[in-house]
């Protein structure tokens, strides 16, 4: 099954992607990780997320090697700039370095990794310039809560933000209370990182939950596939699970075919209820 989210600029964001945090850090795993990325692409997962921070550029280099012989127009590449580099002094050079490591001449999305000391106005001005130059097709942010997003939208050009990438999984549902509804009402797509809660390590008892296990058995799936299927319930959210192994990437892609029904949703809600009040944004 294919899944897409229409961005406010009319482009289609693939509804499932691949994260690359920690990939490229170990030379002995490079061939396996490249194989994993290529397997995902061949399975139709064309959204690849990375960042200049990941391994100080090593993840971008690994992605560059993995996509070297792939048709660029069939990929949706996303990278992120560090807050300290998000001002006029450094951001253009950061983008140059990212493009060089990836071996491409443009990004589909360029994100501010998290909020730092550079004013939103300055970052937005630079992002808009890079869009006009054709070096990025669009821009967004990451790890911003509702009050940050509201401030961003008050900046000239801030409403052109296409995406907010935040942590979201069954055991961390805080964004459902006010951030996700705000984003939906302002046509800002969500990219959900760590949708598998780093194989359950971010929330004790998640993978071992009776509810998750029962639903997994019902659908002939693994508990991790059920966690991913949960995030796929949100029409405006594109989860980007990271895996450096081919078999896991293919299992993630297969989660697109899992359709959770109302009984499944009720069981998950009872086991891991969403908060009924604002909570601090989870960041890892």
- CA distances 143 to 207, 241, 256, 281, Å, are 25, 16, 25, 8
Distance CA 190, CA 4 (A): 12
Q: Find the angle CA(115)-CA(134)-CA(95) to the nearest 5 degrees.
A: 40
30: number of Cβ within 10 Å: 18
Q: What percent of the chain has pLDDT over 90?
A: 94
| pLDDT at 134 (0 to 100) | 97
| pLDDT at 40 (0 to 100) | 97
Question: Nearest CA to 195 among 147, 126, 261, 243?
Answer: 243
Q: Is the pLDDT of residue 221 over 80?
A: yes
Question: Nearest CA to 113 among 187, 196, 175, 53?
Answer: 53
Residue range 4-271, CATH number: 3.20.20.100
Distance CA 12, CA 3 (A): 10
Check residues 203 and 173 and name the one with the higher pLDDT.
173
At 135, phi and psi to the nearest 5? Answer: -85, -20
Q: Is the pLDDT of residue 19 over 80?
A: yes
54 is catalytic: yes
Q: Is the pLDDT of residue 172 over 90?
A: yes
Q: What is the mean pLDDT of the chain?
A: 96
| pLDDT, mean of residues 265-270 | 97
208: number of Cβ within 10 Å: 10
| pLDDT, mean of residues 85-104 | 98
pLDDT band at 202 (very low <50, low <70, confident <90, very high): confident
| pLDDT, mean of residues 153-163 | 98
Q: Is the pLDDT of residue 146 over 90?
A: yes
| pLDDT, mean of residues 254-258 | 96
| Whole-angstrom Cα Rg for the chain | 18
Long-range contacts of 39-44 (CB under 8 A, 24+ apart): 39/246, 39/249, 39/250, 40/249, 40/250, 40/252, 40/253, 41/66, 41/67, 41/70, 41/74, 41/75, 43/249, 43/250, 43/253, 44/2, 44/253
Map out the domains of the chain as residue ranges.
Answer: 4-271
22: alpha, beta or left, given left = phi > 0 and alpha = psi -120 to 50? Answer: left
Q: Is 280 exposed, middle or buried (0-12, 13-18, 19+ CB in 10 A)?
A: exposed
pLDDT band at 1 (very low <50, low <70, confident <90, very high): low
Decide if 37 contacts 68 (C-beta within 8 A).
Answer: no
Q: Is the pLDDT of residue 213 over 80?
A: yes
User: pLDDT (tens digit, 9 = 90+) per residue, 23-36?
Assistant: 999 999 999 999 99
Q: Is the pLDDT of residue 201 over 80?
A: no
pLDDT band at 61 (very low <50, low <70, confident <90, very high): very high
User: pLDDT (tens digit, 9 = 90+) per residue, 105-143?
Assistant: 999 999 999 999 999 999 999 999 999 999 999 999 999
| pLDDT at 203 (0 to 100) | 76
**First CA to last CA distance, the chain:** 30
Out of 22, 54, 106, 168, the active site residue is 54
| pLDDT, mean of residues 89-97 | 98
Residue 153 CA to its chain's centroid (Å)? 21
Q: What is the DSSP letter of 190?
A: E
Q: Is the pLDDT of residue 22 over 80?
A: yes
| pLDDT at 88 (0 to 100) | 97
């Amino acid at each position: 099954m294919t899944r897409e989210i229409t961005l406010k600029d009319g482009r289609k964001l693939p509804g499932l992607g691949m994260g690359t945090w920690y990939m490229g850090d170990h030379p002995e795993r490079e061939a396996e990780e490249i194989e994993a990325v290529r397997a995902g692409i061949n399975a139709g997962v064309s959204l690849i997320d990375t960042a200049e921070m990941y391994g100080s550029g090593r993840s971008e280099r690994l992605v560059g090697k993995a996509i070297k012989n792939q048709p660029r127009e069939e990929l949706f590449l996303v990278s992120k700039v560090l807050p300290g580099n998000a001002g006029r002094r450094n951001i253009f050079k950061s983008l140059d370095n990212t493009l060089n490591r990836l071996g491409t001449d443009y990004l589909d999305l360029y994100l501010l990794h998290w909020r730092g000391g550079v004013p939103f106005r300055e970052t937005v001005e630079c992002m808009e310039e890079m869009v006009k130059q054709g070096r990025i097709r669009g821009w967004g942010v990451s790890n911003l809560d509702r009050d940050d997003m509201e401030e961003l939208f008050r900046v000239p050009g801030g409403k052109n933000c296409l995406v907010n990438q935040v942590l979201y999984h069954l055991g961390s549902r805080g964004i459902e209370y006010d951030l996700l509804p705000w984003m939906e009402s302002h046509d800002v797509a969500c990219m959900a990182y760590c949708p598998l809660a780093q194989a359950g390590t971010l929330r004790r008892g998640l993978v071992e939950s009776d509810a998750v296990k029962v639903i997994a058995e019902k659908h002939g799936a693994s508990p991790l596939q059920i966690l991913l299927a949960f995030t796929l319930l949100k029409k405006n959210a594109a989860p980007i699970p990271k895996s450096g192994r081919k078999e896991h990437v293919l299992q993630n892609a297969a989660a697109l075919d899992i359709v959770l029904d109302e009984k499944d949703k009720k069981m998950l809600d009872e086991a891991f209820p969403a908060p009924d009040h604002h909570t601090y944004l989870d960041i890892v």
